[in-house]
Chains A and B, each alone.
Chain A
Amino acid sequence: METTAELVQFELVAPQRLVKSQAVEMVVVPCTEGDIGVLPGHAPLIATVRPGVIEMYENGMRTQSIFVAGGFVEVNPQRCTVLVEEAIATGAIDREKVEARIAAAKQALEDAQSEAEKAQHESGIEMLEAMLDAMESVVHTHQ
């Protein structure tokens, strides 16, 4: 806590890159058991993240929102680290591309042989649909 008086160091990491690493006032992370808002000095926490939107707050305003496709979050008083499979700014989601991916995943689900494969594709489709929802909710708030 001695390092950050009123900001929390937020890190968002995807396998391919470090998506975000910056100090913010508050960050809201969608966890499997409900959204959590992380402020500086938050109690240490480890939780699983569901597909949803991470919101970053600075100066009392929501400045950025990023869609994430499930993963883990670790919070300690100094830092909030979110590890995700995939991350994309909500503004950058392309409806057509996502729909194409849903169609491809559904096709793969039909072709799937084993139960494990089926479960994998099902969760993939769920994730993609959550991505579409995230995009739509952003469109609504902007209108």
Chain B
Amino acid sequence: MPSLKDLKNRIDSVKSTRKITSAMKMVAAAKLRRSQEAAEAGRDYTLRMDRMVQSLAASFAGVDGAPELLAGNGADQTHLLVVFTSDRGLCGGFNGSIVRETRRRIADLKSRGKTVKILCVGRKGRDQLKGDHKSLIVDAVTGLGGKSGIQYAEATQLRDKITGMFEAGEFDVCSILFNRFQSAMTQVVTLKQLIPFTASAVNDPGVKAGDEGGLKASYIFEPEEEEILKALLPKNLGVQVFQALLESAASEHGARMTAMDNATRNAGEMIHNLTLTYNRTRQAYITKELIEIISGAEAL
């Protein structure tokens, strides 16, 4: 049986843990509000950008000479997975669910005889995947989103890295895996194919039925299609990557807030139980001492 002093020490240590987790919860909640606003505000732009590229892609369907970023390079052998995780832990199942999905995708692609390459965004994803898929990780980007949140310039750097690899012929198909922010409690693991562009990339809610009417129309282009595509495609990639970063950041803070809320509650429960045990033990000691004194007096 633990002594009174041991119990007291444990209660104190759980109390200080609770202080830390509740502080982390507050910080995450404050960050969540900002990043959630950013992620939700960016959705409008991303959605419409997607729609515009889709219109362009539709007019290019079946035509030779479409840019490779749009139509792909014809091959389907090497797949690049860009995995968005966080740099820091203590955020519940946030990184775990992404890594699990990544492993599933890798196994799936490998079983079909494809080559897989992984680009990790965030330290946690790299650390977790390093164990069993070290040879597949081509690069890792960490430390995104400083004090002022995710910057668009960071997304363009990442985009340039991806397009650079594509132009160097290092992969044929590029997909991103990230947590889409739904609420502080729920994040949805989302897979989106970036290169070649797929119409199925537009599965966002908010695309109203009947919107497809405009897609089949033949568009007038000013300037030439090639020129617009040359400007629009990298732009679209940048925006998609940016949005993924924003969604991932919002999801991370949401997940951390929920996890820390749970941790704080559990710590409270533990303190309650330990305090009960402490008091019982204290009473038992007093009773024991009383019995000793009384029986001592009787013996005289």
Assuming the A-B contacts A16-B41, A47-B221, are A72 and B228 also in contact, with contact meaning beta carbons closer than 8 angstroms in the complex?
yes
| Interface residue? B168 (CB, 8 A) | no
Q: Which residues of A contact B218 (CB under 8 A)?
A: 44
Is B214 within 8 A of A77, CB to CB? yes
Given contacts A43-B220, A45-B219, contact A78 B228 (CB under 8 A): no
Q: B214 is contacted by which of A11, A31, A78 (Cβ under 8 Å)?
A: A78
Q: How many A-B residue pairs have CB under 8 A?
A: 78
Contact B217 A83 (CB under 8 A): no
Check A18–B44 contact: CB distance below 8 A. yes
Interface assignment of A46: CB less than 8 Å from any CB of chain B? yes
Q: A16-B41, A78-B214 are in contact. Are A32 and B223 (CB under 8 A)?
A: yes
Chain B residue at minimum C-beta to C-beta distance from A47: B222
**B55 x A46 contact (CB < 8 A):** yes
Q: Are A74 and B42 in contact (CB under 8 A)?
A: no
A80 to B114, CA, bound (A): 42
Of chain A, the residue at the smallest CB distance from B46 is A15
Contact with B along A13-30 (1 / 0, CB 8 A): 111111000000000000
**Chain A residue, CB-CB nearest to B217:** A44
30 contacts between A and B (CB under 8 A): A11-B48, A13-B48, A14-B45, A15-B42, A15-B242, A16-B41, A18-B41, A33-B223, A43-B220, A44-B55, A44-B214, A44-B220, A45-B222, A46-B55, A46-B219, A46-B220, A46-B228, A47-B221, A47-B222, A47-B223, A48-B227, A48-B231, A72-B232, A74-B51, A74-B52, A74-B55, A76-B217, A77-B214, A81-B51, A83-B45
Residues of A within 8 A of B (CB): 11, 13-18, 31-33, 36, 43-48, 72, 74, 76-79, 81, 83
Chain B residues near A (Cβ < 8 Å): 38, 41-42, 44-45, 48-49, 51-52, 55-56, 152, 213-214, 217-223, 227-228, 231-232, 235, 239, 242
* Additional A-B contact list (5), CB under 8 Å, known A31-B222, A46-B219, A47-B222: A44-B217, A45-B221, A46-B52, A72-B235, A83-B45
